[in-house]
Structure 1
Amino acid sequence: MADAEAGSPPKTTRAMIAPELAPALELMPSFELNDAFIAYLRSGEALQSGFTQPPLSAEQQAVACEDRFVPGLNGAPDVRVLVYTPPGAATAPRPAFLHLHGGGYVLGTADLNDGSNRSLAHELGCVVVSVDYRLAPETRFPGAVEDGYAALKWLHAEAEVLGVDRGRIAVGGESAGGGHAAALAIYARDRGEIPILFQSLDSPMLDDRTGATSDPHPYCGEFVWPPANNRYGWKALLGIEPGGPETPYGAAPARVADLAGLPPAFILVGALDLFLEEDVEYARRLIRAGVPAELHVIPGGFHGFGAAGLGAPQVQTTLRLRREALARAFAGL
């Protein structure tokens, strides 16, 4: 009995968090997703007490941001996008990055990544288009992915006006946005209309079975985004209980059998993130399907550890790896 207890996982994984990231966890709110909480977040009261963005640096302010609306797909409402253009006159068409924000499929807006999208545009000299896709549960799958595809079609069609190279369009996002980006890559591949150069997936939400029907990881998912919230997010997106055989094709990228022909991928995830195993497995399957995939696991990282800021070496590493991967893709390397 003593041996079994000695070999059992700890009751909390707090001691496994990287010391540089631990202070940020104390500042991150703990919440349980449910219908009442979502209703509050959609209310005017919640909007009035919303998140305040940190001040922009001089480099970020130099990037122009334009609020646009593009035609929705298949008669859907127009899709709001934020278009970020780096300063200075371009000597040649620029690469472009189509960004999808995180939020568990039920939260968030394109504005939340304003600072990071400005930084990306400035550092890589690329146009960034951030998609304000429709949220669940008000809009079920495939609404958000179709909004992403509508933005992709517009970006491709308006490439000359935007100063964009059609052959160098990448997609990406964080958490649910990473899941939507992976689903968008599959959606675009299946239609064969618009080529995607690269997909950048930061802690992507890929598999509705995680926390629902799959064997839980003993050390992952305790903080920020636990299994209960994951089940809620997936149920909101699908309109059915997650993890079952009725999950529609393309909603959960991890459940798509054929991954051949997808764009090369960059995948990064924290070692304590609920999405660890689904992300590692997705990278393995991409490679198995002949798709170049770069995988990074950050020791001691929980979901959303980027909130620790630039003072944490893990955040510095994450930003550098992501930036370098995109730069290589844009350079054709």
Structure 2
Amino acid sequence: MSAVHQALPASLTPSMRDVLRRMERAARTPLYQLGAAGARATYEAGAGVLEIPRQDLPRVEELLIPARDGAALPARLYAPAAHEQAPGLPLLLYLHGGGFTVGSVATHDLLCRRLAHLAGCMVVSLDYRLAPEFRFPTAHNDAWDALQWLAAHAAELGADAGRMAVGGDSAGGTLAAACAIEARDAGLELALQLLIYPGTTAHQDTDSHRRYAHGLVLDEPAISWFFAQYITEPEQREDWRFAPLLAPDVDDVAPAWIGLAECDPLVDEGVEYADKLRMAGVAVELEIYKGVTHEFVKMGRVIAEARTAHAHMAAALRDAFGLN
């Protein structure tokens, strides 16, 4: 994620333009030039700089969720009420973004707290394993294993297994979309898939990838580097667990809320995925936030559209969970 010297899109909001100019003046080394460990440390250090204030919650707990290979995956549970005060809360499994290479429960802590508070639901944020140490399809398998475990253990956590959703941003949105397909195939009913600027294509060849290749928060060199960490063989790009647009069918998957940034390399593939779902008869609510870039939902302190998106996400969750 980087910025370079060049003209910015005319449609950017003044606040978004100011963020990008400040990034440019800071002249930090791009993540893709730091190696995986350096990129993670840098992303962690900057993750909360532009975010909304920390939402205090009555219940925040650390979990360990077993994966199929015996690994214990750290996760964090957020709830807007104590266990004994609100048994049977609906539950959202949240999968963070970061190109399958960076990001963590910590980098998305403030966003998950916000969603739990606004939506009135439990949120479980997962630390799935990252590339290049763990390559495709480990992140997908971890996410799907966690969703199944949460469904099986919902009552112990104070959640309602009959009201579950899966969501995430960027690469996490990819994982969430693929988990929704897995859930359909396994007969696990989900109330919603919450997809925030998800990656859905096998190859980054849409018009928006060309139009927004440089100068914004997420650029072409970063995308190429992230995917090179995660994908080991060219044919893996054609696997729908990496590129949900290539799923043979998406009939009967969970209803979707899809939130996209207008000035984002991923915007076209997000629209294409919304169209694929709609053509299969899936209910889709699509929001395209004008004048903002990838990562904007984590900039709520300075970007008004982020706060609007938070409210829209919460409303979609509340509707799906029957809380309104």
Query: Could you tell me the TM-score, scaled by structure 1's length?
Result: 0.84
Larger relative contact order (C-alpha < 8 A, sep ≥ 6)? 2
Displacement, 1:331?
0.7
Say whether residues 1:285 and 2:302 are aligned partners.
no
Rounded to whole Å, the distance in 2 between the matches of 1:298 and 1:145 is: 27
- Other-structure match for 2:59: 64
Displacement, 1:104?
1.1
Rounded to whole Å, the distance in 2 between the matches of 1:91 and 1:171 is: 21
- 1:149-206 Cα distance to aligned partner (Å, 9 max, x none): 22112211111111111111001011111111111112222233x2222100111122
Distance 1:238 1:57, change over 3 A: closer
Structural mapping, 1:278-317, within 5 Å: 278-317=269-308
Displacement, 1:272?
0.9
Query: Size of the alignment, in residue pairs?
Result: 313
Say whether residues 1:227 and 2:220 are aligned partners.
yes
- Other-structure match for 2:229: 236
CA contact (8 A) 2:237 2:243 kept: no
Quick one: which amino acid aligns to residue 302 of structure 1?
Answer: T
Rounded to whole Å, the distance in 2 between the matches of 1:191 and 1:197 is: 15
User: Which of 253, 256, 261 pairs up with 2:252?
Assistant: 261
Say whether residues 1:169 and 2:193 are aligned partners.
no
User: Which of 118, 121, 132 pairs up with 2:116?
Assistant: 121
Distance 1:169 1:246, change over 3 A: closer
- Other-structure match for 1:134: 129
Quick one: which amino acid aligns to residue 219 of structure 1?
Answer: R
Displacement, 1:310?
4.1
Rounded to whole Å, the distance in 1 between the matches of 2:282 and 2:11 is: 33
Q: What SS does structure 2 have at the residue aligned with 1:134? A: coil
CA contact (8 A) 2:86 2:158 kept: no
Q: Which protein is bigger by CA-based radius of gyration?
A: 1
Displacement, 1:85?
2.0
Displacement, 1:311?
4.6
- Other-structure match for 1:206: 200
CA contact (8 A) 2:261 2:290 kept: yes
- Other-structure match for 1:276: 267
CA contact (8 A) 1:271 1:300 kept: yes
Distance 1:300 1:53, change over 3 A: closer
Rounded to whole Å, the distance in 2 between the matches of 1:91 and 1:101 is: 26
Rounded to whole Å, the distance in 2 between the matches of 1:304 and 1:49 is: 14
Quick one: which amino acid aligns to residue 131 of structure 1?
Answer: L
- Other-structure match for 2:38: 40
Rounded to whole Å, the distance in 1 between the matches of 2:53 and 2:15 is: 24
CA contact (8 A) 2:36 2:132 kept: no
User: Which of 94, 99, 102 pairs up with 1:104?
Assistant: 99
CA contact (8 A) 1:105 1:136 kept: yes
- Other-structure match for 1:82: 76
CA contact (8 A) 2:61 2:76 kept: yes
Quick one: which amino acid aligns to residue 229 of structure 1?
Answer: A
CA contact (8 A) 1:100 1:172 kept: yes
Q: What SS does structure 1 have at the residue aligned with 2:15? A: coil
Rounded to whole Å, the distance in 2 between the matches of 1:253 and 1:22 is: 31
Distance 1:216 1:51, change over 3 A: closer
CA contact (8 A) 1:63 1:122 kept: no
Q: What is the alpha-carbon root mean square deviation over aligned residues?
A: 2.7
Query: Could you tell me the TM-score, scaled by structure 2's length?
Result: 0.87
Say whether residues 1:152 and 2:144 are aligned partners.
no
Consecutive unaligned residues in structure 1, runs of 5 or more: 1-10
Question: Once the two structures are aligned, what percentage of the paired residues are identical?
Answer: 33
User: Which of 164, 187, 192 pairs up with 2:182?
Assistant: 187
